[in-house]
Amino acid sequence: MKNDEMEELFKEYHELLYRVLRRGGIFPTHSYFEDYWQELSLALFQLMKKAPDRISFLADYNESWLFSHLLWRLADVRRYQKRHVKEELLDVPVEELLQTTPVAKLGAAEALERDALLLGFWDSLKPKQQRQLEALWQEKCQKQSVSPALLSYYRIRLRQIFKKFCENF
């Protein structure tokens, strides 16, 4: 397939790439949006290179197959990225992680004030909201037992409650 045919076909599949990213939970405000966009674009171009011409590409790869293929490719990229980040964290010595935490930079008075604020926030929560906060903490500790969508909902709700609590504190 010629380059100009590939560019024209890529423009036609521009919306498909957005749909795949949206289905995968990646939106333009996401910090890795451009990286994922480029990965999917590269996967699409690789498929286009295999086809001798535009007609054979359209015959071999219908839109629903491309959508599912690109969605699986997105899942692969995200899985690789998540594993890669975990491996990088495991390579860092614990002492170094502890030294870079904001808690280590706090003075005694600031740490006590922060702890009092957090304890007051915890006490102000209803039991259901406390369970939601515990679910978020378990997610941070890599013990996911709740879906990512539900965790996002918890995060939004608890952030609103925390803002109101800080205004009244």
Per-residue pLDDT of the chain (169 residues; tens, 9 = 90+): 788 888 898 899 999 999 999 998 888 888 888 989 999 999 999 999 988 888 888 888 999 999 999 999 999 888 887 766 555 545 555 445 444 445 555 566 677 777 777 777 788 888 888 888 888 777 766 666 777 788 888 888 888 888 887 776 5
Using left for φ > 0, alpha for ψ between -120 and 50, and beta otherwise, residue 72 falls in: alpha
pTM > 0.85: yes or no: no
